[in-house]
Amino acid sequence: MKKTAAVGLSGGVDSAVAALLLREQGYDVFGITLRLKPADASDSDISDAQAVADRLGIRLIVCDKRSEFEKSVISDFVNAYARGLTPSPCVGCNQLIKFGLMADTAFEQGADFLATGHYAEIERNSNGGCTLKRAQSAKDQSYFLCRLSEKQLSKTLFPLGALSKNEVRSVAERYALPVAHKHDSQEVCFIPDNDYARFVEERLGTPVPNGNFLNSSGEVVGTHSGIIRYTIGQRKGLGAFGEPMYVTKIDAAANTVTIGKNDELFTNDITIQNISTVSGKPLPEALRCEVKIRCAAKPAPAVITPLPDRRAKIVFDLPQRAAAPGQTAAIYSGDTVLGGGEIE
């Protein structure tokens, strides 16, 4: 009997090819598109998703999840910046929205699996368990999926896991998919102009006040333009100090931004909180692993030691640059994703 796969169609080329490949593999396929942004910002993507569905001859369900997205992703994003943090909204969106609410809709509509256009792989074991693996291509997106559980993964398909982006484009062109040449989005989806500060201030309903720049000795050396405009490791927009300076600390309570030299950005250890694991089991003591402290970072060898209250200390073999509080730290063992936590 044929299995049914619901594909999260975003309006982009990756999800379109995912749907195509599953149809070619013999699945009964239908699409789901989430309306997460205001109508004028979502309509073009929804139109593209419908065009893909029409080309493939599959039905498309459009679900309005703006209220839930606002509560669980956008509000957390705004509050994090207001507290001097640098959030990872895509990680939370995957866990709660795409593989949460969208998956619920998929299964209510009779799907056996939810599929997306993410570049990652799922390894299924003979005992019915599964693990999340990095994609072998440079497009690997496993970092953004590190909060998913084994239960979620057991009903998930990633058809693009073994492909490169160029191969995906080629498939789209060969089958004349209408989004074959659509550019990838480079920004957070709900901030298309990439102006985080403007977005956060609009949501807070008030301008974020200026404050003091401090040097490493705690001396006032200038005036910053509001803590939401800075992140750890930032160099641009600080002003002239006679030599390159970088943001090394943000103190929301004191409304200060500390700046220093590049070598002050390196640390041997970090602490993470709100840890979740793919297996659902606690991390073992003194675990040798690799950790990515941001999506573009390389996995760095480290030892992780669990602490109470879903926290852990990570000690790196080599110092890491610009670990930003609020960012996700994804934990790996080789190509296997073990889980992730939030940098304190």
Range of the domain at 308: 266-343
The answer on 220 and 89 residing in a single domain is: no
**What does the pLDDT read at residue 106?**
98
The pLDDT averaged over each successive group of 10 residues in the chain (344 residues) is 95 98 98 84 86 98 95 96 97 97 97 98 90 95 98 98 97 97 86 91 96 97 97 94 95 98 98 97 96 96 97 98 98 98 98
The answer on 166 and 228 residing in a single domain is: no
211 Cβ contact partners less than 8 Å away, ≥ 6 residues apart: 223, 224, 226, 227, 254, 255, 256, 257
Model-wide pTM > 0.75: yes
- CATH code of the domain containing 45: 3.40.50.620
The rounded distance, in Å, linking the Cα atoms of 92 and 72 is: 8
**What does the pLDDT read at residue 42?**
67
**What does the pLDDT read at residue 40?**
61
Q: Are 177 and 11 in contact (CB under 8 A)?
A: no
Catalytic residue positions? Answer: 93, 189
**What does the pLDDT read at residue 315?**
98
- CATH code of the domain containing 281: 2.40.30.10
The answer on 59 and 158 residing in a single domain is: yes
What CA–CA distances, in Å, run from 254 to 120, 208, 258? Answer: 41, 13, 11
Residue 191 lies inside a defined structural domain of this protein: no
Q: In total, how many domains does the chain have?
A: 3
Among 10, 169, 166, smallest CA distance to 98 is for 10
**What does the pLDDT read at residue 127?**
82
